[in-house]
Chains A and B, each alone.
Chain A
Amino acid sequence: NAGVMQNPRHLVRRRGQEARLRCSPMKGHSHVYWYRQLPEEGLKFMVYLQKENIIDESGMPKERFSAEFPKEGPSILRIQQVVRGDSAAYFCASSPRSGANEQFFGPGTRLTVL
């Protein structure tokens, strides 16, 4: 059973471009969480999604950031018009249901904005 997969592992964008980060949850998991880790800082929750629904987006910046988890395919975290401050590691986690004790994390996508 493959773990949580994220791609790309490394992404370089110039200021103003768009970044798309993908997360494939573990097989059988329908709940996805996105976290961001700025350099030398702890992880910060961004958004929690269930298939086709956003459950909690309290940690998402108000502008330029969006997330989706369609019925088919991976979850996507989209950052429009990236700025240097968006440079960070973005981690995705999944769980099989609401109320699960453990979240399984992927290896992360490291975004660098030039």
Chain B
Amino acid sequence: DAKTTQPPSMDCAEGRAANLPCNHSTISGNEYVYWYRQIHSQGPQYIIHGLKNNETNEMASLIITEDRKSSTLILPHATLRDTAVYYCIVRVPPGNTDKLIFGTGTRLQVFP
């Protein structure tokens, strides 16, 4: 699976959009970008995934650049409960091996 690079930490004011970047310059054509988050001491939680088109769900939006070498997770109106470590994961379509390879992630701190 391709490696990802994320900033170690970010701050965001409550109510503002949180934009979390991820670089995955070695991504292959069939690899997807997944985002999970881990709120303190809890199990990780799936957020969103995409291949090349931008995606949106009730939690977030995922913007993938045209060359697919980077992406941005957007939390449109961050709340204090969004404080967590956010992991960007690149993986081939789940199949014979479904394992997730977590990096170090970005620690997002949302402040009042």
The reply to whether A45 and B100 contact each other, CB–CB distance below 8 Å, is yes
A4 at the interface (CB under 8 A from B): yes
**Set A35, A44, A89, A103: member contacting B98, Cβ < 8 A:** A103
User: How many angstroms from the CA of A21 to the CA of B110 in the assembled complex?
Assistant: 34
Contact with B along A94-108 (1 / 0, CB 8 A): 010011111111111
The reply to whether A106 and B43 contact each other, CB–CB distance below 8 Å, is yes
The reply to whether B94 and A42 contact each other, CB–CB distance below 8 Å, is no
Which B62-97 residues have C-beta < 8 A from chain A? 87, 93-97
The reply to whether A108 and B94 contact each other, CB–CB distance below 8 Å, is no
**Set B34, B46, B87, B98: member contacting A98, Cβ < 8 A:** B98
Interface residues of chain B: helix, strand, loop or mixed (majority): loop
B28 at the interface (CB under 8 A from A): no
User: How many angstroms from the CA of A43 to the CA of B103 in the assembled complex?
Assistant: 8
For chain B, the count of residues having a C-beta within 8 Å of the partner chain is 23
The reply to whether B42 and A43 contact each other, CB–CB distance below 8 Å, is no
Which residues on A are within 8 Å of B, measured CB to CB? 4, 31, 33, 35, 42-45, 48, 55-56, 58-59, 89, 91, 93, 95, 98-108
The reply to whether B44 and A91 contact each other, CB–CB distance below 8 Å, is yes
**Set B34, B38, B43, B49: member contacting A4, Cβ < 8 A:** B43
Which residues on B are within 8 Å of A, measured CB to CB? 34, 38, 41-46, 49, 87, 93-105
The reply to whether B102 and A56 contact each other, CB–CB distance below 8 Å, is no
Assuming A42-B87, A42-B105, is B44 touching A100 (CB within 8 A)?
A: no
The reply to whether B42 and A107 contact each other, CB–CB distance below 8 Å, is yes
The reply to whether A56 and B99 contact each other, CB–CB distance below 8 Å, is yes
For the complex of A and B, the 6 pairs showing the least CB-CB separation, nearest first, are A105-B43, A45-B99, A102-B46, A43-B102, A42-B102, A99-B94
With A59-B99, A107-B43 given, can you name 19 additional A-B contacts, CB distance below 8 Å?
A: A31-B98, A42-B87, A42-B104, A42-B105, A43-B38, A43-B102, A45-B101, A48-B97, A58-B99, A91-B43, A93-B43, A95-B98, A98-B95, A98-B98, A101-B49, A103-B98, A107-B42, A108-B42, A108-B43
